[in-house]
Structure 1
């Protein structure tokens, strides 16, 4: 019986097989956006069992288990790790046509050499076999990353992070670059209850007393400088939509002072502050030649009962239906008009925004830069076969697929790197089908070059990661 995950998995034509095996398969991985915990990478301690490395914290799996009606104690509760694994194994056969089914068996195959389908009858054997391997040195977090031919990993980090774990990794002999990404959501969300405490922590770490908008920008500049010198070349924002309210510096200064005095502000005033701080951040990114990532559109923490029990990232987020185009155009224009628009990647969570984001990206270009503003890879609920194909088709029709910086994991799991393989197989299969249909010329060398560019070369050029990283430890900077 043919293995489910075989050499030509997802590859429907001989053209696709040639493209994947000869041009895509062995490309290094640049995982420029993920949520791997850098402290665990630096510590490099083996996981105790398969549940801890594979199910703990994976809200994709949690959603599927809840959909099957499994009790919360077996998902995020106090059941044993083995009990939780068996409940996941019970869920897997019911996840047919969900990307989890493909990912699950890809990961079992690529990391553990297990080609058996996971279900209740195979669960005990698979759990035991994987646990035995997880105790071996080659299954430590660093080795799991490295064995996937990974060259760069960009974690997602708060501006308050001292980056000591990144510095520790940079000072080691570890060959994979583990670089920080600047994620300043706490600086933007002025309406949040902990906003003043957050600014207080920022003031302390930078030794800059934050009393107004100008001193806040100075403190942010200090952290951007610190991140840059620890190898950061990307920022990231998780927003419902871009902010584009009209404001003046005087108005924003007044609004921030009101909030610092613990007085209430209106929704309009919050939008003005958010618009101003987002522009100020964009200007800093352009100055440092960083890439700005905008993840736009989800509605988060919708199930308040689960949020109260489990906390954030519980798996109760969904696609939002926000208006995007006008906000995004206005924000990008504000930066572009003053020649302060950094290289940017736009990610949408709502598939109905595919064409909006693809065409918006094409409005803003830069001489000598391939696709200065990118329509980013299929994200979150869309990073499955259909969603990836849709993104590739829209990008091809509205822009230049050949300039894409390719895929990322966006994951908290050390076993998620086969998602790059999954993307590469889908890409090669699509191009192979076009070749078979006569929609592309039979020029394997050129199309193979495009595959190599999309899967590796474009990202390497676009992000301009440092060849060396200054060892700065926890030192902070007041200004440039």
Structure 2
């Protein structure tokens, strides 16, 4: 009798209804990944990866965290060891990741890209490394074909307002739409006046305009916003520890900007006024150009000062922050709504304690005209795993409209991350299929087909107003 692989056709599908939903409907849908951190340069230059160690471990803080927890020295994570050495240390770690989504993702990626169904371990690591690395040298495994291989239709990258978007323009005729996303977080980083002023100078350089006061800054940001719009941008993204709200913020923001330009640090109240003002102005720009605005809230970043000083940001020393303040989020959204300046909005939470609050708070600002205008975003970061996704679907079902959900994103820097859409789709189909089998959801095949197709593809096309 043939042994069934760990990654097999019914992986994560517990019944016949779930299997039908996945294989007949979800599996066929093209992928729209509207929030990634992929390099547009690597896509435009059709990058060829040197080996499996590079494509997997060059910039993956999920794996680095697991390796550190397993006792692997930092030189094999962010250090100067060879990619082969790093991969072998990752292979040592993988058997210990059972129960972690990394175990599932690792083996889905080996199966879907390289047709490798063995369970990665030290015993077969050398063989798998050689086999996959040899395949990566083929043209079929260059960056653009890796996207095509997974049936990716649209990718949203994450881009600073100062970016010239040259690589997005170079990809104008590529069969996969690669769209920029406006991510202006640097303009809110006021903790270090020296960094802030260097960034202002960067904006001055790219725009060709002097920024002498707050009014000038808002004008330059609006100019960059328009530049992104002309390049096909449909969304902004804001990675904030929390939302900001201060009453009567503008006069304080004017003074705060001048204080920063003078190289002086802000007080807590001055920071709140400045950040509230900038976020309000940016959200008004999003409304003016009919963009979607995304807020990733609650990450507590760069906790390890020693490692931050040695390695910098985004090296896997971030974690879940405190629950968000419902009042602040509500007041901020209400401020925009009162002026009819609240565009389509997605909120993502890092802390699972915020889930019900986010969903119910968003319901306060649905406008009765735009289906799913206020969206509870996909399970993000530490919540992007089986239990987190199932909880997301359950809470959205009972407190919102799951059928209007705009869908999954990888939020990834890796070109091998797209099987995470399969992972999500299997969990979605299993959730709905179990509901049908238990008599909680009607066994109406046309209704089920519509819901699955919409969540996996159609809702995102309509929500972002993509040309699909």
Report the TM-score, using the length of structure 2 for normalisation: 0.98
Equivalent residue, structure 1, for 2:5 = 3
Structure 2 residues without counterparts, runs of 5 or longer: none
1:204 to partner: Cα distance:
1.9
1:309 to partner: Cα distance:
2.1
Instruction: Work out the CA distance in 2 between the residues paired with 1:125 and 1:249.
Output: 62
Equivalent residue, structure 2, for 1:452 = 453
1:322 to partner: Cα distance:
4.1
1:360 to partner: Cα distance:
1.3
Does 1:120 find its partner at 2:122?
A: yes
Q: For the Cα contact (< 8 Å) 2:250–2:273, is it kept in 1? A: no
Does 1:141 find its partner at 2:147?
A: no
Equivalent residue, structure 2, for 1:189 = 189
Alignment of 1:256-267 (within 5 A): 256-267=257-268
Q: For the Cα contact (< 8 Å) 2:246–2:273, is it kept in 1? A: yes
Equivalent residue, structure 2, for 1:64 = 66
Q: For the Cα contact (< 8 Å) 1:240–1:322, is it kept in 2? A: no
Does 1:96 find its partner at 2:87?
A: no
Report the TM-score, using the length of structure 1 for normalisation: 0.95
1:117 to partner: Cα distance:
0.5
Secondary structure class of the residue paired with 1:36: coil
Structure 1 residues without counterparts, runs of 5 or longer: 468-480
1:444 to partner: Cα distance:
1.6
Alignment of 1:306-321 (within 5 A): 306-321=307-322
Equivalent residue, structure 1, for 2:339 = 338
Q: 2:87 aligns with which of 85, 88, 102?
A: 85
Secondary structure class of the residue paired with 1:102: helix
Instruction: Work out the CA distance in 2 between the residues paired with 1:141 and 1:440.
Output: 41
Does 1:305 find its partner at 2:324?
A: no
1:466 to partner: Cα distance:
5.1
1:38 to partner: Cα distance:
0.9
1:94 to partner: Cα distance:
0.4
CA root-mean-square deviation: 1.0
Q: For the Cα contact (< 8 Å) 2:250–2:274, is it kept in 1? A: no
Instruction: Work out the CA distance in 1 between the residues paired with 2:250 and 2:79.
Output: 48
1:219 to partner: Cα distance:
0.3
Instruction: Work out the CA distance in 2 between the residues paired with 1:248 and 1:331.
Output: 12
Secondary structure class of the residue paired with 1:194: helix
Instruction: Work out the CA distance in 2 between the residues paired with 1:449 and 1:423.
Output: 17
Runs of 4 or more consecutive aligned structure 1 residues displaced over 4 Å after TM superposition? none
Equivalent residue, structure 1, for 2:40 = 38
Aligned length: 465
Equivalent residue, structure 1, for 2:391 = 390
Q: For the Cα contact (< 8 Å) 2:190–2:266, is it kept in 1? A: no
Alignment of 1:224-263 (within 5 A): 224-263=225-264
Equivalent residue, structure 2, for 1:204 = 205
Q: Deviations over 1:208-267 (max 9, x none)?
A: 211111111100010000000001011000101110112342222122112112233211
Q: Deviations over 1:60-117 (max 9, x none)?
A: 0000000001111111112111111110000000000000000000000000000011
Instruction: Work out the CA distance in 1 between the residues paired with 2:405 and 2:450.
Output: 13
Instruction: Work out the CA distance in 1 between the residues paired with 2:443 and 2:264.
Output: 67
Instruction: Work out the CA distance in 1 between the residues paired with 2:330 and 2:202.
Output: 33
Q: Deviations over 1:376-432 (max 9, x none)?
A: 000000000000000111111110000000101100000000111100000000111
Instruction: Work out the CA distance in 1 between the residues paired with 2:349 and 2:177.
Output: 27
Secondary structure class of the residue paired with 1:302: coil
Q: Which moved more, 1:94-103 or 1:191-200?
A: 191-200
Instruction: Work out the CA distance in 1 between the residues paired with 2:383 and 2:47.
Output: 32
Equivalent residue, structure 2, for 1:107 = 109
